[in-house]
Amino acid sequence: MMRGLSSLAILFALGGCASQAQPDVLEKIVFLGRHGIRSPTLSPQEMQHRTGHTWQVWSVAPGEMTQHGAAALAAMVQAVQRNYSASALFQGAKTCQILEKETVVWADTADHRTRQTGDVWAKEIAPECAIKAHWATTGVDPVFNALGSQASQIDRGVLEQEFAAATKTLSEPASHNALKAVQSLMAPDACSESNSSPQCFLGATKIEWKKGAPHLQGGFVTGGMAAESLLLTYAEGLSLADFKVADKDAPHVLEAVMPAHEAENHLLRRLPEYARARNGVMAESIRAFLSDRPVRSIPGISSSTKVLVLAGHDTNLAAMMALFGLDWSFPDQPDSTAPNTVLAFERWRHADGSRDVRIRVFHQSLAELRQGRAPDIETSALTLSPSRPILFSTQ
């Protein structure tokens, strides 16, 4: 009997210890988000010249975020904020004064749409507080584009080797089938022997060098641009009837053509050498922030900063894929770096004092973008496993 009581006492003691075990604590986070839905970056006239098809005029100038795009982005940021609202970073007990001190929102200065995106994040990430978005005063910010600021250079030999290897690892036959689908929608006769034209997308994709920088030329460039523009048109709530696509068929058509845009990313933006030269500053800034080291490239970050928001482009998301060894796709969104997609780098502290970084990616489905709805993050978020280290070594 005494032995049974002793065993029971031990079980109660162990249970008490287990119930008092310290949970993991979210200490810091970096959000890297793409801007909201924008119009095509080219004018309708230039779009027609390149694709052979007439494109409708949008309510905003080329490359600008729309009112619907801003609303859909706000819904996305609100969902992200709700997802973290119970964490130590956003607990209700924190005053606005503390949240404003602990949060930095840094946007790409190069485009109005990214500055707008920074403003939306600043407004929605801590509602009712006076957080402000900031951006560089120079024309090009090396955090978002070190190549454009001439803060970095590409090793041409390395890049061309990576490009050659990438051409052999394209997702086939989906990539070329996507080009054929885009061709059929845009200019079905442009590739005939009797009517060869620049509007034929089925030629080989190559790299050309201009002022020391690589540029893709060929089918996946125009075809990928056209495919993305179709997705943006649908996400904006517009009709694809001009392309003889009914609204009910649009999701299927977009799923068929978007591998052309994914191939465009695969052949340049996700090449490690290109990503390093263009966005190595961003990657090292993220690593430094999460490792409690100085972040010299982004003003305003101090030892008290806990939340860093980077408002950028799909090119930045693609670069982080390459630099940190990440990969993802969505079952309900054919664009892996669609508008409002957010990459979250979470630094957690464990009970034993050790730390690690967990990476998650949040997105809106095609339907949610079109309707301007927030996603159900709990069910749609993906947890990623980087193949390259995030935190700097403490040794």
- Tens-digit pLDDT profile for residues 105-122: 999 999 999 999 999 999
What was the pLDDT predicted at 392? 87
For residue 185, what pLDDT band results from cuts at 50, 70 and 90? Answer: very high
- Alpha-carbon dihedral angle through residues 132, 135, 137, 139, given to the nearest 10 degrees: -150
Which of the two residues, 139 and 306, has the higher pLDDT score?
A: 306
Q: What is the 3-state secondary structure (H, E, C) of 129-186?
A: CCCCEEECCCCCCHHHHCCCCCCCCCCHHHHHHHHHHHHCCCCCCHHHHHHHHHHHHH
Cα dihedral sign, 169-174-176-182:
negative
Quick one: which of 369, 361, 359 has its CA closest to 332? 369
Q: Which single residue is written with the structure tokens 């690892």?
A: 169
| Cα 374 from Cα 371, distance rounded (Å) | 9
- Tens-digit pLDDT profile for residues 312-326: 999 999 999 999 999
What was the pLDDT predicted at 144? 97
What was the pLDDT predicted at 394? 56
What's the whole-number mean pLDDT along residues 353-367? 96
**Domains detected in the chain:** 25-384 (3.40.50.1240)
> Above 80 in pLDDT, residue 12?
no
Contact by Cβ (8 Å): 255, 283: no
> Above 50 in pLDDT, residue 3?
no
**Helices 219-235, 44-51: crossing angle, 10 deg rounding:** 130
> Above 80 in pLDDT, residue 14?
no
For residue 22, what pLDDT band results from cuts at 50, 70 and 90? Answer: confident
- Tens-digit pLDDT profile for residues 147-157: 988 888 999 99
For residue 20, what pLDDT band results from cuts at 50, 70 and 90? Answer: low
Greatest CA separation for the chain? 98
Quick one: which of 61, 22, 29 has its CA closest to 43? 61
What was the pLDDT predicted at 195? 55
What was the pLDDT predicted at 138? 86
What was the pLDDT predicted at 93? 67
- Tens-digit pLDDT profile for residues 247-258: 999 999 999 999
Query: Which residue blocks in 300-365 are alpha helix, DSSP H?
Result: 314-324
For residue 393, what pLDDT band results from cuts at 50, 70 and 90? Answer: confident
